[in-house]
């Protein structure tokens, strides 16, 4: 179904990948993983014809209208409505049925000069009618919209007023409604709540076509794929591993351990051989200098020849293709929260908190206490008010009733979902220096921990990728010395290595965390508790954490 031959791509002096080869057959489910910037999105764009490779070829044995591609930075027409995006009338059986009826009538009334063109249009309409008839029935359409949380969105709603998450889900719904033969999904889980994630996993488990997913959601990959393609920034190639992500991660761990052991063994052999050579040379030199006896000088020459033989053997080993490279430490984000000032025992106190917008009630009479040291995951369907709760805490909005009390000596650090707290016209260096009194040298050293090197620090924030902005925003929280972190979807655009580093940092963080997050693997590793926002209320749900653990184990 999809065949990739010797694919290579570079931008200027930057090589993304070379001689990439793989095949995806009908019904196969494949995950494409690798660090941010290694070329995953570029590869997908080449597969669908939006970019051209430098060398190599791609063969897709499905019609263009049967390729479902969800780009990472989905751009929808802002002057369109939800209905315009969801429903392509050229895929609607009723549309082509009307066309056939019109052309039938036209043929009965046409003169000889017009008939040929009308008959061609009629044949085309019949072909499209047969194709459109294969489109899923109405009840399945309703199921997709409901599963992605779009059933409550009116079809005449303007795309311009939708949230980023709604736009992503709208684009995903449009693709699924076309029932394509192959799905190429670039970060489909961004902005999906846990309920929608589980629905999408179930949908894909019953999907009959081929599937290629780029994702950093480890649980999602475990539940949807059967093969992993890893893009390496070291070899610039793609390697295949059978099994889901957990199987791949274990295989990579064993590879690293085996390589480290073999490298250590080889270095030991080299050291022993070098020691023996030096010993033979030294022994021969001592004999020659200490005696003029022919017998002993002859023996010294023999020892020296042994040293020369071993030296040549060592040189051949060092020049051999079998010489192992030293295991490399991958360049990962360095995230450490240091010097966190202590806060009072009660960090946030919600007293009868209520928030409404007109007739819409998001939540009412919320009474909760967030205590020092707790790491709470705030979960719930999209649109229920999680971000609004954060804005109430930050005093960016006012409560309809009740209040939020902030405890003593609490310093809040807020990571916004859309990264709107970052000034788009400033570069990373200016942003850091405005946050903390650092020299340019110290600021650049700090940014290096967050994978900004060289001239990257001068790139305007508005031109940074989503992942780069996320890393910069996390760095600013570290600089501010906050002891309460409000994190709204903090890991959406982080690769797996950065997510793991962030999880480790939060585990060592001495402060308090309230995070909106839908990554179930992340929740299991980081959260000490879960608050669920549903049915216009926010309540602790210890059993939900147990349920997540059962589903992700």
* Statement to judge: residues 405 and 525 lie in one domain: yes
pLDDT at 89 over 70: no
Per-residue pLDDT at 280 exceeds 60? no
Q: Let me know whether 107 and 22 are in one domain.
A: no
Looking at residue 327, its pLDDT comes to 64
The two tokens of residue 301 are: 């020459």
Q: Are the CB atoms for 61 and 67 separated by under 8 Å?
A: no
Residues 367 and 426 in one domain: yes
268 contact partners, CB below 8 Å, separation of at least 6:
none
Instruction: Render pLDDT for 512-546 as a digit per residue (tens, 0 to 9).
Output: 999 998 888 888 888 889 999 988 999 888 755 55
Q: Which of 361, 366, 352 is nearest to 401 (CA)?
A: 352
Confidence (pLDDT) at 95: 67
- Summarised one tens digit per residue, pLDDT across range 390-407 is 999 998 889 999 999 999
Residue-level pLDDT at 6: 93
Distances (CA, A) of 391 to 25, 58, 370, 519: 47, 47, 16, 22
- 179-188, 267-276, 355-364, 432-441: which range is least confident on average? 267-276
Q: How do strand 14-24 and strand 67-70 relate by DSSP bridges?
A: unpaired
Question: Among 8-12, 145-149, 229-233, 242-246, which is the least confidently predicted range?
Answer: 145-149
Instruction: List helix spans (H) across 291-407.
Output: 294-319, 386-393
Token output for 449: 């921990």
Give the model's pLDDT for residue 552.
47
Residues 6 or more apart whose Cβ sits within 8 Å of residue 124: none
Query: Is 499 found in the same domain as 384?
Result: yes
Q: Above 60 in pLDDT, residue 263?
A: yes
Give me the long-range contacts of 451-458 (CB less than 8 A, separation at least 24).
451/331, 451/333, 452/428, 456/428, 457/427, 457/428, 457/429, 458/427, 458/428, 458/429
For residue 134, pLDDT beyond 70: no
* Of 496, 514, 136, nearest in space to 343 by CA: 514
Tell me phi and psi for residue 98, to 5 degrees: -65, -40
In this prediction, residue 229 has a pLDDT band, given cuts at 50, 70 and 90, of very high
**pLDDT of the residue at 553:** 43
Q: Are residues 315 and 380 in the same domain?
A: no
Q: Which two tokens stand for residue 311?
A: 């030296």
- With a cut of 90, say whether residue 226 has pLDDT above it: yes
- Residue 46 clears pLDDT 90, i.e. is over it: yes
Whether residue 177 sits in one domain with residue 117: no
**CB-neighbour burial class of residue 505 (10 A; exposed 0-12, middle 13-18, buried 19+):** middle
Question: Burial, 349: exposed, middle or buried (Cβ in 10 Å; 0-12, 13-18, 19+)?
Answer: middle
270: containing domain: 258-319
pLDDT of 111 reads 85
> Which range in 67-71, 244-248, 542-546 is most confidently predicted, on average pLDDT?
244-248
Note the pLDDT of residue 366.
93
Res. 88 pLDDT band, cuts 50 70 90 = low
Task: Examine residue 392 and state whether it is found in any structural domain, yes or no.
Answer: yes
Average pLDDT of every residue of the chain: 81
Token pair belonging to 136: 């899923």
The answer to whether 542 and 379 are in contact (CB under 8 A) is: no
User: Which of 300, 319, 338 lies at the terminal end of a domain, its last residue?
Assistant: 319
Residue 524 lies in a domain: yes
Residue percentage of the chain with pLDDT more than 90: 26
Q: Are residues 206 and 299 in the same domain?
A: no
d(CA 251, CA 334): 25
Which of 35-44, 373-382, 419-428, 450-459 bottoms out in mean pLDDT, i.e. has the lowest? 419-428
Q: What is the mean pLDDT of residues 203-229?
A: 92
83 occurs within a structural domain:
no
pLDDT at position 183, please?
92
Same domain, residue pair 368 and 506: yes
């Amino acid at each position: 179904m999809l065949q990739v031959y010797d694919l290579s791509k570079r931008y200027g002096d930057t090589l993304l990948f070379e001689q990439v080869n793989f095949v995806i057959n009908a019904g196969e489910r494949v995950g494409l993983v690798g660090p941010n910037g290694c070329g995953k999105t570029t590869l997908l764009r080449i597969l669908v014809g939006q970019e051209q490779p430098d060398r190599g070829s791609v063969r897709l044995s499905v019609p263009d209208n049967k390729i479902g591609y969800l780009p990472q930075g989905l751009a929808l027409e802002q002057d369109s409505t939800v209905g315009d995006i969801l429903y392509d009338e050229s895929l609607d059986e009723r549309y082509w049925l009307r066309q056939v009826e019109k052309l039938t009538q036209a043929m009965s009334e046409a003169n000889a000069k017009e008939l040929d063109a009308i008959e061609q249009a009629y044949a085309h309409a019949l072909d499209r009618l047969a194709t459109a008839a294969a489109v899923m029935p109405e009840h399945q359409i309703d199921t997709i919209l409901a599963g992605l949380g779009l059933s409550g969105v009116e079809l005449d709603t303007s795309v311009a007023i939708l949230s980023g998450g709604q736009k992503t889900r709208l684009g995903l719904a449009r693709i699924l409604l076309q029932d394509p033969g192959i799905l190429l999904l670039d970060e489909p889980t961004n902005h999906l709540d846990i309920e929608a994630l589980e629905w999408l996993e179930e949908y894909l488990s019953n999907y009959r076509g081929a599937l290629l997913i780029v994702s950093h959601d480890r649980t999602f990959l475990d539940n949807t794929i059967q093969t992993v393609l890893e893009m390496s920034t070291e070899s610039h190639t793609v390697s295949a591993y059978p099994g889901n992500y957990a199987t791949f991660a274990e295989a990579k761990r064993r590879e690293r351990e085996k390589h480290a052991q073999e490298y250590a063994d080889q270095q030991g052999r080299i050291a022993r051989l070098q020691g023996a050579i030096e010993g033979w040379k030294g022994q021969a030199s001592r004999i020659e200098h200490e005696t003029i006896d022919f017998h002993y000088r002859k023996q010294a020459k023999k020892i020296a020849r042994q040293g020369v033989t071993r030296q040549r053997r060592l040189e051949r080993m060092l020049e051999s293709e079998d010489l192992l490279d030293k295991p490399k430490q991958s360049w990962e984000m360095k995230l450490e929260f240091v010097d966190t000032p202590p806060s009072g025992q009660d960090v946030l106190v919600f007293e009868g908190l209520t928030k409404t917008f007109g007739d819409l009630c998001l939540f009412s009479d919320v009474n909760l206490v967030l205590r020092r040291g707790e790491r709470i995951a705030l979960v719930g369907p999209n649109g229920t008010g999680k971000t609004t709760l954060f804005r109430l805490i930050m005093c960016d909005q006012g409560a309809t009733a009740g209040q939020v009390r902030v405890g003593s000596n609490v310093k809040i650090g807020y990571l916004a979902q859309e990264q709107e707290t970052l000034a788009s016209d400033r570069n990373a260096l200016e942003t850091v220096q405005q946050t903390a009194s650092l020299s340019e040298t110290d600021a650049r050293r700090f940014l290096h921990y967050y994978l900004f090197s060289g001239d990257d620090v001068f790139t305007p924030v508005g031109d940074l990728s989503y992942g780069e902005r996320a890393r910069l925003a996390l760095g600013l929280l570290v600089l501010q010395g906050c002891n309460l972190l409000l994190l709204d979807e903090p890991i959406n655009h982080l690769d797996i290595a950065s997510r793991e580093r962030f999880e480790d940092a939060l585990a060592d963080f001495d402060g308090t965390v309230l995070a909106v997050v839908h990554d179930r693997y992340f929740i299991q590793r980081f959260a000490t508790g879960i608050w669920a926002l549903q049915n216009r209320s926010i309540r602790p749900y210890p059993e939900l954490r147990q349920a997540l653990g059962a589903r992700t184990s």
